[in-house]
Amino acid sequence: MLLINWLVTSPRTWMDLVWLYLLLFLLTILHELGHALMAMLLGTTVTRIQIGIPVTGQIAVGTILFQLGMIPGGSVSYEYADDAPRWKVVAATLAGPLFPVLISVAMFLTTVPSVFIYGFVLTAMAGALADLWPWKQGSDGQKICMHLRCISRGRKTLDV
């Protein structure tokens, strides 16, 4: 309620836009880290993590290429084996939208409530819902549904 009150009554300043940009960038970082961390946890090799578009710089750290851009957005590239189980792909895909939600709820439960925390939680949840929407072309939700459909038809690995 505090966030809604702030949005309705607060005069907009350029700093509001800066904070919104930083919030979206932070959520993008957490989203892509969610994909990458889950894939690595499940034994999949992550080859590239892109945060921001278009790519304006990059650095290789070990076997992972980190790419950075100025506009919030991103992607993660993996090296799945041809016979990788689809459930691993589903888990890594689902982890992207859920990781920012988990972090934001943890922050909400362990910090002093503030407009930033409320905004962070609400934006993370809205982003997760939007990205898990299965009818949005290219969304994580669409990818999850495709793999679950394949699993339900007996195609449990990527090679079939």
Q: Is the pLDDT of residue 11 over 70?
A: no
148 CA to centre of own chain: 20
Q: Is the pLDDT of residue 54 over 80?
A: yes
User: What pLDDT is recorded for position 160?
Assistant: 62
User: What pLDDT is recorded for position 130?
Assistant: 94
Give the residue carrying structure tokens 């994909």. 35
Binned at pLDDT 50, 70 and 90, residue 9 comes out as low
Largest CA distance in the chain: 56
Q: What angle do CA 88, 50, 158 make, to 5 degrees?
A: 25
- pLDDT tens digits, one per residue of 93-143: 999 999 999 999 999 999 988 888 888 899 999 999 999 999 989 899 999
Between CA 27 and CA 33 the distance in angstroms is: 10
Name residues whose C-beta falls within 8 Å of residue 26's C-beta, 6 or more positions apart in sequence. 120
Q: Is the pLDDT of residue 8 over 70?
A: no
Contact 76, 103 (CB under 8 A): no
The domain ranges of the chain are 2-152
User: What pLDDT is recorded for position 13?
Assistant: 76
